[in-house]
Amino acid sequence: MRTNHEIDYFIHGEEMQMVEIELDPQETAIAESGSFMYMDDGIQMETIFGDGSKQNDGFFNKLWGAGKRLLTGESLFMTAFTHLGNGKARVAFASPYPGKIIPIDLSLYQEKIICQKDAFLCAAKGVSVGIEFQRKLGTGLFGGEGFIMQKLEGDGMAFCHAGGFVMNRTLKQGETLRVDTGCIVAYTQTIDYDIQFVGGIKNTIFGGEGLFFATLKGPGEVWLQTLPVSRLASRILQYGTSRRKEEGSILGGLGNILDGDGV
C-alpha cells in the first residue's frame, strides 16, 4: 500500500513540456512556486510550509526541514493543489526552460532519488523534498553544483525537469561514468558519487571544461541532461554582452547594420 497520494499524469509538448496531473477527490499535488500553469474548477490552491509530507512532525522540525531548502536556493514554502470537488480534475505545471520532464515513480527506486537542486518540478503529496549533502571532503571542496543536492523520498510520483535532451544510463556493479557536474539531473541512492581532478597542465590551463568532473560508480541509474541551466544562462549572458563574431571587417560590419546591430 502506498503512503503517498496516487496520481495519474500526462506529459505534453516536445521542447517546452508541461505535465498535467489528474486528481481524484481529496488527492493533492505539490509543486515549487512559479511552475503552476492552470487547474480545473474544484481544485483549491494553498501555500504550505515545507513540502507537507509530515503534518504531525512539530513546528520546529517543520521549520528545520523547510530551512534546509534555503540552502538549495528554494523557497521556504510550496504550493499544494487539492481536488475538493467530485469526479476527476486536472492541474498542470510547465517546464521553466527548454528541455524534458522526467516522471519518476519513487517506489521503483527504493523510495529515494537524489537530484540537482533546481531539478524538482512537482510531486504527489507525501513525497518529501529534502537536502542531500555529499559527505566526501573532495566533493565538498570542489564539487560546485554537485555538492548540495535535493533528495526526493517516498513511494509516490515525482517529476523533475532537465535542460535539452535527457539520457538515462544504467550502470552495472563497478561501472564508472565521468560527467560534468552540471549535466547530472538525478541518480539512485545506490550510485557512489565523487569528484575527480581532470589532470594535465594543458587540460587545466586551456581545456575550458573546468578542473573537476563528477564520477558516478554503479550499480544504479543515472539521468543526464545536455543543457544545464547554468550553461544556458552563461551563453545567453555572453551573447548579450559581447559583439558578434564577424567573418570579415566589411561584410561582417554590413551584416550587423542590416540586422540592426551596427551603429
Q: Which CATH number fits domain 8-254: 3.60.160.10, 3.40.50.720, 3.40.50.2300, 3.40.1390.40?
A: 3.60.160.10
Q: Where are the domains of the chain?
A: 8-254
Alpha-carbon span 184 to 168, nearest angstrom: 10
Chain segment 88-144, per-residue pLDDT in tens: 999 999 998 889 999 999 999 999 999 988 899 999 999 998 888 765 545 444 444
Give the C-alpha distances (Å, rounded to integers) separating 232 from 120, 182, 226, 239, 243.
Answer: 18, 11, 10, 11, 18
For the entire predicted model, the pTM comes to 0.80
Distance of CA 76 to the CA centre of its chain: 17
Alpha-carbon span 81 to 125, nearest angstrom: 9
Specify the DSSP class assigned to residue 243: P
Does 253 have pLDDT greater than 60?
no
Q: How far is the first Cα of the chain from the last one, in angstroms, to the nearest whole number?
A: 68
Chain segment 213-240, per-residue pLDDT in tens: 889 999 999 999 998 887 777 777 777 6
